[in-house]
């Protein structure tokens, strides 16, 4: 099932009350996704042949922002939340998402910070987490990424969201440890519970064939 289609289904289920607030955590195969801001051809810095050789596809989405990269080693978090029930504005929601990442990173001795000029979470001058959301009828989809042990080479293939020369980093690089994706999931869920005042229940992991469509 496509990641976008799955989120749309979950969002509709949340809208009619079939499910409660839901957090989808996964990692994608290599893909360049394009948000509603679009992209220019010069934002992709390699040839189609290089993308094909590395197995990187291109997909349009309805999230905010421009072009970005997803791939193995990057934790992707898609909250399906009812903002009206939570009493949150869009600005407050985005701030809370950043706070979830910052709080989780602090548990690993990493100081994440916000930059006034750019969304997401940064460690010094390098982005470690990007944010792009879509909200309809008060229900959210898309969310944030957290670079855990990503191959940074693929980020160099683009001017991420049209920002030339943007530095990217990972939890593994900053911490100097061979950290796994599983090490981050529980801290993230705890942070979600704390910051959004939610009672988080972790469902049993399932193996799903999720990709962009």
Buried/exposed code over 150-172 (b: 16+ C-beta within 10 A; e: otherwise): bebebbebbbbbbeeebebbbbb
Question: What is the distance in angstroms between the CA of the first residue and the CA of the last residue of the chain?
Answer: 8
161 in catalytic set: yes
The answer to whether 155 and 32 have CB atoms below 8 angstroms apart is: no
Structural contact between residues 169 and 123, judged by C-beta atoms closer than 8 angstroms: yes
Half-sphere exposure of 101 (CA within 13 A, CB side): 29
Nearest to 119 by CA among 98, 146, 101: 98
Q: Give the active site residue among 4, 59, 77, 161.
A: 161
Residue with tokens 């944010």: 131
- Residues labelled catalytic: 161
């Amino acid at each position: 099932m496509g990641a976008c289609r799955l989120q749309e289904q979950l969002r509709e289920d949340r809208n009619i009350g079939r499910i409660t607030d839901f957090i989808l955590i996964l990692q994608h195969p290599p893909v360049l996704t394009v948000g509603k801001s679009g992209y220019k051809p010069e934002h992709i810095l390699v040839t189609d042949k290089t993308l094909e050789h590395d197995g990187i596809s291109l997909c349009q989405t309805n999230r905010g922002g421009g072009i970005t990269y997803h791939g193995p080693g990057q934790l992707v978090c898609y909250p399906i939340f009812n903002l009206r029930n939570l009493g949150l504005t869009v600005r407050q929601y985005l701030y809370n998402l950043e706070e979830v990442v910052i709080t989780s990173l602090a548990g690993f001795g990493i100081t994440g910070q916000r930059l006034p000029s750019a969304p997401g979470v940064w460690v010094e001058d390098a982005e470690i987490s990007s944010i792009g959301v879509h909200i309809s009828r008060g229900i959210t989809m898309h969310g944030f990424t957290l670079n855990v042990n990503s191959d940074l080479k693929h980020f160099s293939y683009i001017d991420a969201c049209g920002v030339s020369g943007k530095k990217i980093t990972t939890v593994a690089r900053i911490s100097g440890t061979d950290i796994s994706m599983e090490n981050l999931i529980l801290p993230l869920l705890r942070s979600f519970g704390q910051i959004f005042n939610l009672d988080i229940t972790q469902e049993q992991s399932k193996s799903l064939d999720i990709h962009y469509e």
